[in-house]
Amino acid sequence: MTTPFPFTAVVGQDDLRLALLLNAVSPAVGGVLVRGEKGTAKSTAVRALSALLPEVAVVPGCRFSCDPAAPDPGCPDGPHEAGNGVDRPARMVELPVGASEDRLVGALDIERALAEGVKAFEPGLLAEAHRGILYVDEVNLLHDHLVDLLLDAAAMGASYVEREGVSVRHAARFLLVGTMNPEEGELRPQLLDRFGLTVEVAASREPDQRVEVVKRRLAYDADPAAFAARWAEEEAAVRQRIAAARALLPQVRLGDGALRQIAATCAAFEVDGMRADIVMARTATALAAWAGRTDVLAEDVRQAALLALPHRRRRNPFDAPGLDEDKLDETLEEFSGESPDDDPGPDGGGGGGGGQPAPDAGPQGGDTGARPEEGEGGQPQPSGAQEQPAARASEPFRTKALSVPGIGEGAAGRRSRARTEHGRTTGARRPQGALTKLHLAATVQAAAPHQRARGRSGPGLVIRRDDLRQAAREGREGNLVLFVVDASGSMAARQRMGAVKGAVLSLLLDAYQRRDKVGLVTFRGSAADVALPPTSSVDAAAARLESLPTGGRTPLAAGLLKAHEVLRVERLRDPARRALVVVVTDGRATGGPEPVALASRAARLFAAEGIASVVVDCESGPVRLGLVGQLAADLGGTAVTLDELRADSIAGLVKDVQGASRRAA
């Protein structure tokens, strides 16, 4: 067995360590979401935590870790008699991003259930994690159907496995810990709210601290056992402190004054629902116990707010997480005199008193044409016009859905029709591999003609493997939405570019809600650039768009060819994911010989391959050339103006996209 990196040997990352330790003291806090760039010891710290948790008593031989003092009456391995158990270390179970539903919740043998009436159940990861830690690395990349199962288990403290009326239930209470890199995409709000605390981590910029990180990592890699032995005393001290804090926790008093501060803080930051208030109360109590106190102070409330509220106050994907600490301090001060029980305590920027472990004990592993560009209203711009500063985007707005025609087989999402493992049943087929969704009627129909030949004598059917039928289902998939944005001088008028950015941000918000991947190609001057390769991070796309400069000529052909190359590479990486190309331009093409003809030929590549496309027409002013309509025809797609993108008339756009694609085919 590999020796884990010691928790106390992790350098820095005080907030991360504190959040994990508070959950070790009080699992009711609700888990931790760790957000940060790669290489910041997120996984190292989480994996090291399990070694510090107290042992748990379990019923001997129970696969579901029942507590011998209060065994689960519905345990599939039960019933158990209350009595003495055996102690074992607390488990940390890792959920792979690509895990199947059966691996998570367990597998029920449908064939034996139908033929013999036997509930033959193989427990999954939820059963293994009961009374321990369930760790999900890259939790933001988890498939939606697995997220739904996690939400159900976290809410009910139990897992239900059902297959055509045959069901198994078992307890599943666990500490949920997730790590993620925000550049790879955000979490669904429902799952985000299920994490009690969240912390942002980043690599230190202090040379001395970075040197210490490297030294410790090299020492651990050279001899893990010896390195762990060097930190055994510190590990034992933290383990004892956790046990002492757990014992003290029931005695901690949460006064009315602290409760009013918690309620006022949650109201001031306009968080949704009441879960934030409850989590803050539990966190503040755990902080007091960790500090060895029986009273909750204002400093505990402040630190609890910094850990429990940042991920709950986001109003949309483009809002940066975090809290206004000045506003937090003003709120706490305003309600500091509500009760004589609550001493406000020191203010400190990091929250703390004894609430945070000491840093020294802490955790971490060429265009030569002379043709002028046209600006707003057809006014000429010198060809050598300088780059314009980035325009601010207008306020995003809600858009109607665009979809790719036909039926795909891509990753689960909410945009286009697809054959999926989840959704409405549309038919039946023979299973390929393990049976996951039984089509009962089709299975019975397949088995019925053979009952006499199989010697059926009782009331039950004689079922063979060949009789089983898998339900064919239709749901929704996520697509690759590739934005191709004109950033040339003809688009540089600040009012127009602000409206363009607002429209693209609106479509990005729609892509976030529909679980799409997004990419961004821009073109200006004499070339096109991939501003953002295809990613699940809508935040990253919005940031690149916000800082997008404008100016220069309009190499429309280069932009389309670059987009075509991006799609070609992405098809090799993810062949099942279908693309929707959104071209944002006024349709002008300048620079080089025959720029309009080149753009037309590039556009016809998309039509020839049946790639769904929409052109957002940004042309404005008294001089209108109407070039976007021809571009949309060459692409085999449809055109829509910025005004139509906002209006109810966009409801017919999906039909236009589908109709244009069928005509191109």
Give buried/exposed letters for 608-627 (b at 16+ CB in 10 A, else e).
eeebbbbbbbbbbeeeeeeb
Torsion angle defined by CA atoms of residues 134, 135, 139 and 142, in that order, rounded to the nearest 10 degrees: -60
> What span, in angstroms and rounded, lies between the C-alpha atoms of 156 and 171?
9
Does 275 participate in catalysis according to the annotation? yes
CB-facing half-sphere around the CA of 314: CA atoms within 13 A: 19
Among candidate residues 612, 605, 611, 607, the one with its CA nearest the CA of residue 653: 612
As to burial, measured by CB atoms within 10 angstroms (0-12 exposed, 13-18 middle, 19+ buried), residue 184 is middle
Place of tokens 């790639």: 611
Angle at which helices 232-248 and 275-290 pack, to 10 degrees? 120
Residues 6+ apart with CB under 8 A from 339: 255, 256, 257, 258, 260
527: helix, coil or strand? strand
Number of residues that this document lists for the chain = 665
- In the chain, what is the straight-line distance between the N-terminal and C-terminal CA atoms, in Å? 58
Whole-number Å distance between alpha carbons of 133 and 32: 11
Can you tell me the distance from the alpha carbon of 2 to that of 9, in angstroms, rounded to the nearest whole number?
16
What residues are paired with 521 via a beta bridge? 484, 530
242 CB contacts (<8 Å, ≥6 apart)?
21, 24, 25, 52, 53, 54
> Is the Cβ–Cβ distance between 411 and 576 less than 8 Å?
yes
For residue 60, give the amino acid letter.
Answer: P
Read off the tokens for 103. 């691996």
* Strands 470-477 vs 412-420: parallel, antiparallel or unpaired: antiparallel
Is cis: bond before 79, omega within 30 of 0?
yes
Distance CA(634)–CA(637), nearest Å, equals 8
Q: Count Cβ atoms within 10 A of the Cβ of residue 652 and give its class: 0-12 exposed, 13-18 middle, 19 or more buried.
A: middle
Q: Are the CB atoms for 151 and 194 separated by under 8 Å?
A: yes
- Three-class SS state of 556: helix
Catalytic position from the list 210, 246, 275, 419: 275
Work out the angle at residue 33's Cα, subtended by the Cα atoms of residues 31 and 37, and round it to the nearest 5 degrees: 155
Catalytic residue ranges: 275
